């Protein structure tokens, strides 16, 4: 029996965090270096940088702004520093105000051009980060219930073992997590094409079924408007080498990780999930954009299955790597937290593997560090946009 209780950091707005981090959020690509320089080497401080924020269509700028606000409200952040250049289209003060609204977090804003350039701005930001870190960290954990947790799920670097071992095992863990009262966020809309019938059938209402269908068809139509099919992009070259020959084959193996419970809603990219249950976040499959979308939804942590091995972490959200490939578990041991290759070897059932995954996730919620956290592979992030750079 897995304990539904875990140790968390209480937040002023009633939510809880599983990490206690001071976050630095760059509003625009031109502010990335300042954010990184100011935060580098400070324990407990993590920066989110990306390639967006200026010279984009209005819908994309609105999406970037909403995503940054949602990230700033992330439950694992105790405080936030917003860093802007000063001439970008995304307004740093508006981002800071949006974060502070309803979150109760300590939020500061710095504009590099107003502070005399990058070096002076970096020094000023670093001084503030030291002050915030001293006041907010390390913090004290208190007992919390699984019902306060939102779990993100993903598969990446997939191969044939993903669809027949690690993803079915994660699906069992997802069902059990939901049954305990937790909530789950999934996405990778591109990787539901071919499995849409099964996904749609699980919508809790006719309205949700319609939302699921229109979301999946919308992603497919965006790809078709480019005048080419998805081969080479989805499945990726690595997927094909791993034995996945079509998007339908990849999707059927990927969708099983969502478990079997009803789907409670669809959330647009960059928005927070406000309800309880199982939710889809409209998002691409590529890690830099997908991880950002799931973190913006409010997910405390992520269970990430991989056949060939994937190194990514996210600065504000710990990621647990799971594989059903024994060679990957051995050769990429520094990446892998949970090895369920015993499913294929006959020493482990899918059900027991799911229980192992769920136990690991609850331990991570209470503070256990993941392999990806230890690597610090979390600077290659981005925000999903659909229009041109202008």
Q: Which two tokens stand for residue 258?
A: 């969502």
Q: Does residue 206 have a cis peptide bond before it, meaning omega lies within 30 degrees of 0?
A: no
Confidence of residue 225 (pLDDT cuts 50, 70, 90): confident
Tell me the pLDDT band of 218, cut-offs 50, 70 and 90. very high
DSSP assignment of 47-94 equals EE--S-SSSB-HHHHHHHHHHHHHHHT-TTEEEEEEEE-SSSSS-HHH
Mean pLDDT, rounded, for 140-144: 98
* Residue in 232, 219, 291, 244 with CA at minimum distance from that of residue 48: 291
| Whole-angstrom distance, CA of residue 95 vs CA of residue 369 | 30
pLDDT in tens, 78-121: 999 999 999 999 999 999 999 999 899 999 999 999 999 999 99
Determine how many CB atoms are found less than 10 A away from the CB of residue 153.
27
- Mean pLDDT, the chain, integer: 94
Task: Locate 310 and state its tokens.
Answer: 């994937």
Distance CA 64, CA 50 (A): 10
Prediction pTM value: 0.95
């Amino acid at each position: 029996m897995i304990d539904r209780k875990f140790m968390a950091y209480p937040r002023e707005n009633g939510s809880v965090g599983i990490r206690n981090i001071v976050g630095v959020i760059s509003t625009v690509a031109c502010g990335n270096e300042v954010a990184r320089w100011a935060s580098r080497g400070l324990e407990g401080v993590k920066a989110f940088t990306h390639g967006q924020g200026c010279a984009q269509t209005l819908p994309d700028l609105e999406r970037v702004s909403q995503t940054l606000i949602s990230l700033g409200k992330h439950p694992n952040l105790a405080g936030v520093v917003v860093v802007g250049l000063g001439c970008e289209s995304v307004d740093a003060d508006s981002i800071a105000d949006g974060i502070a609204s309803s979150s109760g977090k300590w939020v500061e804003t710095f504009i590099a051009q107003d502070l005399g350039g990058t070096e002076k701005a970096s020094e000023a930001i670093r001084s503030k980060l030291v002050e915030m870190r001293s006041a907010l960290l390390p913090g004290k954990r208190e007992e919390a219930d699984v019902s306060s947790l939102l779990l993100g799920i993903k598969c990446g670097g997939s191969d044939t073992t993903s669809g027949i071992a690690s993803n079915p095992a994660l699906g069992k863990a997802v069902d059990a997590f939901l049954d305990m009262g937790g909530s789950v966020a999934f996405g990778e809309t591109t990787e539901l094409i071919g499995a849409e019938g099964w996904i749609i059938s699980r919508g809790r209402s006719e309205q949700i079924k319609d939302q699921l269908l229109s979301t999946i068809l919308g992603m497919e139509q965006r790809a078709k408007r480019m005048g080419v099919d998805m081969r080479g992009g989805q499945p990726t070259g690595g997927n094909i080498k791993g034995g996945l020959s079509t998007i339908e084959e990849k999707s059927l193996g990927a969708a099983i990780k969502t478990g079997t419970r009803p789907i409670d809603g669809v959330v647009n990219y960059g928005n927070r999930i406000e309800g309880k249950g199982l939710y889809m976040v409209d998002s691409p499959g590529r890690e830099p954009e997908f991880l950002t979308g799931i973190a913006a939804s409010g997910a405390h942590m992520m269970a990430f299955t991989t056949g060939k091995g994937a190194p990514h972490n996210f600065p504000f959200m710990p990621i647990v790597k799971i594989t059903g490939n024994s060679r990957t578990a051995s050769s990429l041991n520094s990446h892998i937290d949970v090895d369920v290759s015993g499913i294929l070897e006959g020493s482990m059932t899918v059900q027991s593997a799911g229980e192992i995954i769920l136990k690991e996730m609850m331990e991570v919620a209470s503070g256990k560090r993941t392999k990806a956290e230890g690597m610090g592979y979390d600077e290659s992030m981005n925000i999903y946009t659909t229009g041109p750079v202008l």
